[in-house]
Amino acid sequence: MTAKPVLIVATHVLPAKGYGGVAVVASDLAKALAAKTPVTMVASDASAIGPSVSREEAARIAGCGVYLYRSRLQKKQGFGLAAIAVIMRHVMRSRAVYICGVSTAPTTIALIACWALRKPFVLGLHGGFMDVHMAKIHEKKPLKALFYRYVVQPLGNKANAIHVMGDAEARESAQYFSKPMLAAPIGVSCKRLVAAPPPETAPQHQTNFLYVGRLSPEKGVLPLLETWRASARPHDTLRVIGSGTGGYADAARKLMALDDRITFAGEQPREKVFEAIKACHFLVLASRMDGAGWENYGLVIAEALALGRPVIVPKGLTWDDVGPASAGFVFPSNRPGLAHALQKAAQLSAGEYHKMAISARRLAEASFDVDRQADRLLAALFQTAKPASMAVSAAAPQGRAT
């Protein structure tokens, strides 16, 4: 008799485009788990850019059986009436369930199904309960705030564990849940993503910086552009990959157009992003600098480290180990701190940079390899480890008044 699989329920799955790192994490996690145990995935076929996702391509990328339902309207939420029957059927057939995200159509249905069918599950928050996000919900979406408090939180507290990407997310999310916070920063498979040789030119002669992500306030894009323009040398370069809408994104594009040292590439496929990472000296993340929230993780940082590229990241997120590991620079989340880090990066000799690149790869292997973290998630799903050994923190669910 075929063993019952672990089920992953996600809103979006690769090759979907336009939905950030959660779709990438869902696919990479599926592939890592499938190497250890039978895995099935259910997701919408939605893609914000290009055609709908095909089942065959999603299954090839995820390395497991994938079942998609149509999401023609409300693609960002993965809404589709067929989701109810598909998810309920596969939850019933599963041994345990990993729910990738909160408050979308498929993740909510999965929560209800796991509760109704008494299936063990782990709920992956993926930034959904961080302070700034919750403040916006309470301010602008009171009905959604009620939904979080009276549906997502109570059902989430029936999970074996609450999965977060790091200690910062654990601290902010623990106030809403009584279950242990499992901090497992899922990055990329270091078996499949091989470190690349360093660029031929040493940083002290010309430093090539890279930013990958949305043109949005929580990414700190405008402070990054302004600080880089003021501190970079005439021959340094900055490549920006990503997209965004609204006034903030428009302001970023206008600022980039003023400086011929900056190249804006727009949205790019994942393989093209990998090529850009290999061509740069440093990947930069300036989250926390715009007073509008910050990253719970930043998957592209793990990708850069795995490819052997040092990173420049703000203090207080998932990446504080970058400094002690000599895998890049960690700066106080302000403009002088960022400027100092950019200048230190530009002073490295070829030998110093080569050592830092090796350290970057080692840090990825030790801390951000999805294949290693998959074992911890399996232990949480099947409760083969004591909660105390998994927990970063646990607190009584307090919620917030609405």
Which CATH number belongs to the domain containing residue 324 in this structure? 3.40.50.2000
Position 47 in a domain: yes
In angstroms, what CA-CA distances link 28 with 64, 186, 193, 296, 367? Answer: 11, 8, 12, 18, 16
Position 102 in a domain: yes
DSSP 176: G
The answer to whether 203 and 346 have CB atoms below 8 angstroms apart is: yes
Q: Are strands 262-266 and 6-10 parallel, antiparallel or unpaired?
A: unpaired
Kindly state whether residues 374 and 312 are assigned to the same domain. Answer: no
Q: How confident is the model at residue 92 (pLDDT cuts 50, 70, 90)?
A: very high
The answer to whether 77 and 117 have CB atoms below 8 angstroms apart is: no
Compute the distance between CA of residue 34 and CA of residue 185 in angstroms, rounded to an integer.
18
Compute the distance between CA of residue 355 and CA of residue 304 in angstroms, rounded to an integer.
15
Kindly state whether residues 259 and 112 are assigned to the same domain. Answer: no
The answer to whether 165 and 296 have CB atoms below 8 angstroms apart is: yes
Mean pLDDT, residues 258-283 taken together:
95
- pLDDT at res. 388: 39
Mean pLDDT, residues 174-196 taken together:
91
Position 107 in a domain: yes
Tokens 């059927």 correspond to 89
How many other β-carbons are positioned within 10 Å of the β-carbon of residue 2?
Answer: 6
- Structural domain span for residue 354: 208-367
Kindly state whether residues 176 and 212 are assigned to the same domain. Answer: no
187 class by beta-carbon count within 10 Å (0-12 exposed, 13-18 middle, 19+ buried)? buried
- pLDDT at res. 384: 63
Q: What is the mean pLDDT of the chain?
A: 90
pLDDT by residue (tens digit) across 137-149?
A: 999 999 999 999 9
Res 389 pLDDT > 90 = no
Kindly state whether residues 85 and 152 are assigned to the same domain. Answer: yes
Position 266 in a domain: yes
Tokens, residue 175: 């106030």
Res 402 pLDDT > 60 = no
Kindly state whether residues 262 and 317 are assigned to the same domain. Answer: yes
136 or 280: which leads in pLDDT: 280
pTM: 0.83
Which helix (H) or strand (E) covers residue 126, if one does?
A: none
Position 124 in a domain: yes
Mean pLDDT, residues 45-56 taken together:
92
Q: What one-letter code names the amino acid at 243? A: S
The answer to whether 360 and 179 have CB atoms below 8 angstroms apart is: no
Position 252 in a domain: yes
- pLDDT at res. 398: 39
Tokens, residue 320: 């504080």
Question: What is the count of structural domains for the chain?
Answer: 2
- pLDDT at res. 2: 58
In angstroms, what CA-CA distances link 15 with 23, 58, 280? Answer: 8, 6, 25
Kindly state whether residues 265 and 360 are assigned to the same domain. Answer: yes
Kindly state whether residues 16 and 129 are assigned to the same domain. Answer: yes
Position 200 in a domain: no
Res 193 pLDDT > 70 = yes
Tokens 């919750």 correspond to 134
Res 1 pLDDT > 60 = no
The answer to whether 366 and 187 have CB atoms below 8 angstroms apart is: no
Kindly state whether residues 22 and 132 are assigned to the same domain. Answer: yes
Q: Helix crossing, 350-367 with 299-306: angle to 10°?
A: 120
Tokens 């779709």 correspond to 23
Kindly state whether residues 384 and 355 are assigned to the same domain. Answer: no
Kindly state whether residues 382 and 278 are assigned to the same domain. Answer: no
Position 153 in a domain: yes
394 or 34: which leads in pLDDT: 34
Kindly state whether residues 380 and 268 are assigned to the same domain. Answer: no
Kindly state whether residues 213 and 279 are assigned to the same domain. Answer: yes
